[in-house]
Amino acid sequence: MIFNETKLKGAFTIDLERWEDSRGFFARVFCQREYAEHGLKPVVAQANIAFNKNRGTLRGMHFQYPPAAETKLVRCTGGAILDIIVDLRPESATYLQHIAVELNENNHRTLYVPERFAHGYQVLADGTETSYQVGEFYAPEYEGGLMYNDPRLGLEWPLPVAYISDKDQNWKLLSEIEADFTRKMSI
């Protein structure tokens, strides 16, 4: 695996190291030892998939508060997405900064999302499937989210939002929850 740290400390894109022959290729997508060697938390508590029927669908911006903050390994196994993560660590030099990474069935790239980051994506092709390995069990009592179009975050989505869940449409703006949010996200 080829680990590339992004401008957000602890967040990585991970590309495949392929062994190719006439059949195609073989590649490792997860190895606890290699993740640990890069200072990443190599724990998988749950594995999930999401299937998205339509281009323009938006999922996010999701996170879990400590003590249930979760890491995520996100891959697009069919179709394509634009994945955006936001650093929610109040003590971080990149607090509230974000990166956007295209994940698709052809680049086979993985995005490692550290704890205390918001995560969301927009579907770029009909019939897209994403795979998540999550480092903590889902805990609804620690679930949180931010509006995908919060002006403070300045996220740019490539397509008009065609489909979004009621829950994702109704997250509060950061300015409305900031005091409580910062307290809960601080370690």
Helix (H, G, I), strand (E, B) or coil at 20: strand
Strand partners, 86: 98, 118
**Contacts with 173 (C-beta within 8 Å, 6 or more apart), sequence order:** 146, 147, 150, 151, 152
Q: Which of 35, 62, 65, 119 is catalytic?
A: 62
Give the residue among 155, 143, 148 at the shortest CA–CA distance from 169. Answer: 148
Q: Quick check: bond before 67 cis, omega within 30?
A: yes
Q: Which of 65, 112, 132, 148 is catalytic?
A: 132
What does the alpha-carbon distance between residue 179 and residue 64 come to, in Å, rounded to a whole number?
A: 17
Q: Is 62 known to be catalytic?
A: yes
Q: Is 132 known to be catalytic?
A: yes
Catalytic residues: 62, 132
